[in-house]
Amino acid sequence: MFDMPTKTKEDRKANTKFRQNLIKEGYFMLQFSVYVRVCKGLKSANNYLERLELILPKKGHIRAMMITERQFDNMKLLLGKESETEKARKPQQLTLF
């Protein structure tokens, strides 16, 4: 999980580069500024944490957390109420010829 400044062009460039490096390292975006990677055991996870330290940006805050596959599987997705705009965008019926 990370929080990085994006006020200047240099900050935005560093943010983009960091996210691209995360993807190259096998991470995928769970939600904006939250990336996850599956590791085979604690030793592998620690190796990736060491590799993560090599690509840290100069500014910003990064937090790493290790959870088990079982804990990840038990994650719940909570969604808010659908807005009127979202309801209006849904097609009522679709016909294909």
As a whole number, the mean pLDDT across the chain is: 87
* 5: CB partners within 8 A, 6+ apart: 11, 15, 59, 60
Q: Which of 64, 52, 43, 61 is nearest to 21 (CA)?
A: 52
Per-residue pLDDT tens over the stretch 60-97: 889 999 999 899 999 888 888 877 776 666 665 555 65
Per-residue pLDDT tens over the stretch 23-63: 999 999 998 899 999 999 999 999 999 999 999 888 888 99
Between CA 18 and CA 13 the distance in angstroms is: 9
Q: What is the DSSP-derived secondary structure letter of residue 81? A: P
DSSP readout, 5-27? --SSHHHHHHHHHHHHHHHHTT-
